[in-house]
Amino acid sequence: MTTTTPDVLHTRVLDWYADHARSLPWREPGCSPWGVLVSEVMLQQTPVARVLPRWREWLDRWPTPSDLAAEPPGEAVRAWDRLGYPRRALRLHAAAVAIRDEHGGRVPADHAQLLALPGIGAYTAAAVASFAFGQRHAVVDTNVRRVHARAVTGDAEPAPSLTAAENRLAVALLPQDEATAARWAVAVMELGALVCTARSPRCDACPLLDRCAWVLAGRPAHAGPTRRGQAWAGTDRQVRGKLLAVLRASPDPVPAADLDACWPDAAQRARCLDGLVADGLVEPLADGRFTLPRT
């Protein structure tokens, strides 16, 4: 582990962030906590470039949680379009309903109340509390974990999934001052996204180059299992996406024949349609047609 003190890490990374942070609308001072919450859900496993136009469309259409809550959940799925992992749209809708019904239409600032919202996990609750309300929380995503692994523990990559040790390290590295801690949370995340990347890290541009435990150790190769990219072509994920695309494109319920036409393998198509129904993303009607969820 590096002997660099947290104060040095904070100063280096925060100074770098002040000069290199991307201008993103959910980071602007005028962005509402709802806008921050929507961005955090959309950004899970989805690149910023794909999120930006969809985020703007959502905030134009549903500027408050109550606006989204007034719509059927299927409209959230429709507007989600091709961001991927569409259950996130249902989670956002469920959170919006809870915010309207239990919090007077305002995103709660209390971390425990954020965590209690349907579909909001530990990461999202911490991120919204930190980024929207300036609170002191450890916000630990893949980018943060990678920076910590390399700069502090000297590992090329973090563990395959978040560990208790990583959480403890993230908490230990938090600045004591709330405002500084909130800025640190986004700064170290940005460093991982732009410089300390998974592939081809730009070490020469890193403010921690001369303090990085991984660099000082000679950049040892990752000793753990290799992470494999997810396949797409021919998978159930692709079929589910095609089925949803047919339903999104129609304002009216869709006959089964229209869904049959979107994928040739009948058994796989039926399995995927059943899965979408079970996930609450598709609603079967008594007349044999299908629609996006209405309630």
Nearest to 106 by CA among 121, 118, 95: 95
Contacts of 264 (CB under 8 A, 6+ apart): none
Tokens 């209405």 — which residue?
294
Q: What are the helix and strand counts (H, E) for the chain? A: 15, 3
How far is it, in rounded angstroms, from Cα 222 to Cα 157? 6
Burial class (CB in 10 A: 0-12, 13-18, 19+), 237: middle
Active site residue 190: no
Q: Which one is catalytic: 40, 157, 166, 190?
A: 40
How far is it, in rounded angstroms, from Cα 203 to Cα 153? 16
**CB count in 10 Å sphere of residue 85:** 14
How far is it, in rounded angstroms, from Cα 52 to Cα 145? 24
Which residues are catalytically annotated? 40
